[in-house]
Copies of this chain bind each other. A is one copy, B any other.
């Protein structure tokens, strides 16, 4: 088959890591008899530089016309880059938010798990790591505070800024269903995170999640307050299977969870809508400080491409092959600099490689 992949290389290390992911897709196509054609879509800083805005209507149309979109990363250093002198709605991140909304990408899946081979990179004590952990964060991505009404204005002569956090039952129900669906394919546990002791939106969240839970009698549901969840992720990450939560809590907790694994350069994410379409991107940022040096870790992007194969194109066998090749390369001891062991003695047992070399090694093993 021929698949049309929208590609958002973006800013910072984006272009380098996306290049390797395309290399992997091409190799997978060769082996399994598919062709991938790529349509480069401008978003973020590169789009600002070229068009004056972080996302044009043409770019949205390109994304809609693709089977799926693979993204690197967008944005720059928020204190030094001139993009951040622009009004908020013209900055790089505004492009990403607009794309999520335009394509209705309400379900953000962020796996956070410990790689056996990278155990030593985990910031937690060994007895807490235990046999390792494996969670899926299901973050609502098109509602809540990030998409609410905002205003900055003088009120009685005092400068005042306001953001609004709104959720309706439909928005909560559809993401909750996704959370329970995923849990059914995993260890059948959902931890729904809210701040129901304070917020109205959280109380509605909890009510609807409980309604949805009734349709999944096999899944164990627990509720957890967001402040407690921030603690539990550090204290005992093994307790979690699926974490289901609203947009902002998900933003904070998913980043915390990926850091807790110690494998942030390895973690992919998918943003899905009601169709097969999805946007796939690594969990890490654009890392402008190391851009262009050829040292960025392409694995998270490569694994995002694997998620793309699995969720948007239904190519499970191909996705398995990519994931297996990544594991293989790690087992053989290849590491980019971010996942090198810290202790001197351990360094000699592994081989440090750059971005392109890592891509080649993985491609060879497919």
A interface residue numbers (CB < 8 A to B): 75, 78-79, 88, 91, 93, 97, 122-125, 127-128, 145-146, 150-152, 155, 158-170, 195-201, 203-205, 223, 225-228, 230-235, 248-249, 251-256, 258-260, 264, 342
How near does chain B come to A331, taking the closest CB pair, in angstroms?
A: 23
Task: List 25 contacting pairs A-B, 8 Å CB cutoff, sorted by A.
Answer: A75-B197, A78-B223, A88-B200, A93-B198, A97-B198, A123-B124, A123-B128, A145-B165, A150-B200, A152-B203, A160-B166, A160-B168, A160-B169, A161-B168, A161-B200, A161-B203, A162-B165, A164-B164, A226-B251, A227-B252, A227-B255, A230-B256, A231-B264, A234-B259, A235-B259
A158 CA to B205 CA, complexed, in Å: 14
- Is A168 within 8 A of B164, CB to CB? no
A99 CA to B100 CA, complexed, in Å: 40
With a cutoff of 8 Å between Cβ atoms, the chain B residues found around residue A198 in the complex are 93, 97, 145-146
With a cutoff of 8 Å between Cβ atoms, the chain B residues found around residue A93 in the complex are 197-198
Q: How many copies does the complex hold?
A: 2
- Is A234 within 8 A of B256, CB to CB? yes
- Is B127 within 8 A of A125, CB to CB? no
A146 CA to B166 CA, complexed, in Å: 14
> In the complex, which residue of chain B has the Cβ closest to the Cβ of A97?
B198
A300 CA to B122 CA, complexed, in Å: 29
With a cutoff of 8 Å between Cβ atoms, the chain B residues found around residue A125 in the complex are 122-125
Whether A163 contacts B201 in the complex (CB less than 8 A), given A78-B196, A125-B125, A169-B158, comes out as: yes
With a cutoff of 8 Å between Cβ atoms, the chain B residues found around residue A150 in the complex are 199-200
How near does chain B come to A55, taking the closest CB pair, in angstroms?
A: 15
Pick the 5 closest A-B CB pairs, nearest first.
A161-B204, A231-B259, A230-B256, A150-B200, A160-B168
How near does chain B come to A146, taking the closest CB pair, in angstroms?
A: 5
A28 CA to B8 CA, complexed, in Å: 65
With a cutoff of 8 Å between Cβ atoms, the chain B residues found around residue A227 in the complex are 251-252, 254-255
A235 CA to B260 CA, complexed, in Å: 8
With a cutoff of 8 Å between Cβ atoms, the chain B residues found around residue A169 in the complex are 158-160
- Is B201 within 8 A of A79, CB to CB? no
A91 CA to B202 CA, complexed, in Å: 15
How near does chain B come to A319, taking the closest CB pair, in angstroms?
A: 27
Contact of A203 among B88, B166, B204, B258 (CB under 8 A): B88
